[in-house]
C-alpha cells in the first residue's frame, strides 16, 4: 500500500487540488483510496463530503481533527481494502510536524507554481526535507518505507510557454529529484472541486488533455523503482552545501 504525501510549505501551490484529484483518479480506476486530511482548514474533507453518489468511494480520514469520542488509532485506522493512501498537508508545518509527515510517506509529491518566488521557496523547502530525511535515520533510504522515500516535483497551474522552471530543473537535476509533469492552469480543476469530483471523473473530451498530463505521475508512482533508481532521495547530502 503506497502512501503518497502532497507536501510544500507554500500555501496555494495546489496540494489539496492534487491530493483530491489523485484520489479521485485512483477511485475512478477501481482502486480504493484513502484521503488523509492534515489541514485544519479541512478543504479535502469538505470535498469528500460533497462527493456525488455516482462516483467511486474514497475513504476519508480527518487527521487534523482529534475526535473526542474515539481513540486516535481508531480514528486513523485504515480499512483493509484501502490500496492507496493520499495525504494532504497544511502549508506551514514546524520541524516536528514535517518530520512526522516525512516518516509516514513512501512518496513525497511537491507541487510548485510557475513563479520565481514559489520556485525559490520550493528549492529551500526541498533542502529542508532532505535534511529532515537525514535526521530521521542514518541513511536517507531508511525513512518511510523499505524502498526508501521518493521525492518528485510537479508543476501546477502551468500556462502555455512557461519557461520559468529552468533554475528549478537545474537544481533538481543536480540532486537527482525528478520533475515529473506539469498540470495546466484550468478552471476545470476549480469546477470539478466544487462538485466533489476530480478531473478524471469528467468524461468529456474537452478535458481529455488535462487527464493526459497525469499519466507521467501515475507511471512514476507505480514505478516502485530499484534502490539504485535516480529518483530515490538516497543522494549525497554534501550537495546541500
Residues at the site binding Mg ion, with contacts judged by CB under 5 A: 15-16
Q: Does 46 bind ligand ADP (CB under 6 A)?
A: no
Q: Does 21 bind ligand ADP (CB under 6 A)?
A: no
51 binds, among ligand ADP, Mg ion, none (CB under 5 to 8 A by kind): none
Piece of 96-104, 145-153, 188-196, 214-222 that binds ligand ADP (CB under 6 A): 188-196
Among residues 5, 9, 17, 106, which is the contact residue for ligand ADP, using CB under 6 A?
17
3-class SS of residue 63: coil
Query: What distance in Å separates the CA atoms of residue 203 and residue 228, rounded to the nearest whole number?
Result: 39
Query: What distance in Å separates the CA atoms of residue 111 and residue 108, rounded to the nearest whole number?
Result: 10
Decide if 133 contacts 102 (C-beta within 8 A): yes
> Which phi-psi region, left, alpha or beta, contains residue 225 (left: φ > 0; alpha: ψ -120 to 50)?
left
Query: What distance in Å separates the CA atoms of residue 35 and residue 48, rounded to the nearest whole number?
Result: 9
- Contact string 76-115 vs ligand ADP (x = CB under 6 A): ---------------x------------------------
Q: Does 157 bind ligand ADP (CB under 6 A)?
A: yes
Give the cell for residue 120: 525559490
Q: Does 57 bind ligand ADP (CB under 6 A)?
A: no
Q: Does 190 bind ligand ADP (CB under 6 A)?
A: yes
Least distance in angstroms from the C-beta of 234 to ligand ADP: 27
* 130 versus 154: smaller Cβ distance to ligand ADP: 154
Q: Determine the Cα angle at 126 with ends 158 and 63, to 5°.
A: 85
Q: With b meaning 16 or more CB within 10 Å and e meaning fewer, what string describes 8-29?
A: bbbeebbbbbbbbbbbbbbbbe
* CB neighbours of residue 42 within 10 Å: 17
Q: How many binding residues for ligand ADP (CB under 6 A)?
A: 17
Piece of 12-20, 69-77, 127-135, 162-170 that binds ligand ADP (CB under 6 A): 12-20
Q: Does 15 bind ligand ADP (CB under 6 A)?
A: yes
Q: Does 211 bind ligand ADP (CB under 6 A)?
A: no
Amino acid at each position: 500500500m503506497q502512501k503518497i504525501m502532497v507536501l510544500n510549505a507554500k500555501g496555494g501551490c495546489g496540494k489539496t487540488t492534487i491530493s483530491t484529484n489523485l484520489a479521485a483518479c485512483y477511485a475512478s480506476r477501481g482502486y480504493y483510496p484513502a484521503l488523509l486530511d492534515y489541514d485544519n482548514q479541512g478543504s479535502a474533507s469538505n470535498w469528500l463530503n460533497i462527493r456525488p453518489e455516482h462516483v467511486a468511494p474514497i475513504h476519508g480520514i480527518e487527521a487534523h481533527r482529534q475526535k473526542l469520542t474515539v481513540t486516535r488509532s481508531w480514528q486513523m485506522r485504515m480499512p483493509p481494502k484501502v490500496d492507496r493512501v493520499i495525504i494532504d498537508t497544511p502549508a506551514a508545518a514546524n520541524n516536528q510536524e514535517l518530520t512526522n509527515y516525512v516518516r509516514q510517506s513512501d512518496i513525497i509529491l511537491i507541487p510548485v507554481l510557475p513563479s520565481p518566488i514559489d520556485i525559490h521557496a520550493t528549492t529551500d523547502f526541498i533542502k529542508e526535507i532532505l535534511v529532515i530525511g537525514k535526521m530521521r535515520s542514518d541513511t536517507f533510504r531508511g525513512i518511510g518505507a523499505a524502498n526508501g522515500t521518493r521525492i518528485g516535483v510537479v508543476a501546477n497551474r502551468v500556462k502555455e510557454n512557461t519557461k520559468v522552471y529552468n533554475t528549478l530543473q537545474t537544481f533538481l537535476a543536480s540532486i537527482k529529484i525528478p520533475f515529473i509533469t506539469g498540470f495546466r492552469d484550468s478552471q476545470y480543476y476549480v469546477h470539478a472541486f466544487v462538485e466533489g469530483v476530480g478531473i478524471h471523473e469528467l468524461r468529456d473530451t474537452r478535458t481529455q488533455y488535462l487527464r493526459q498530463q497525469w499519466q507521467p505521475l501515475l507511471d512514476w508512482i507505480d514505478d516502485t523503482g530499484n534502490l539504485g533508481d535516480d529518483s530515490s532521495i538516497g543522494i549525497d547530502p554534501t550537495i546541500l552545501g
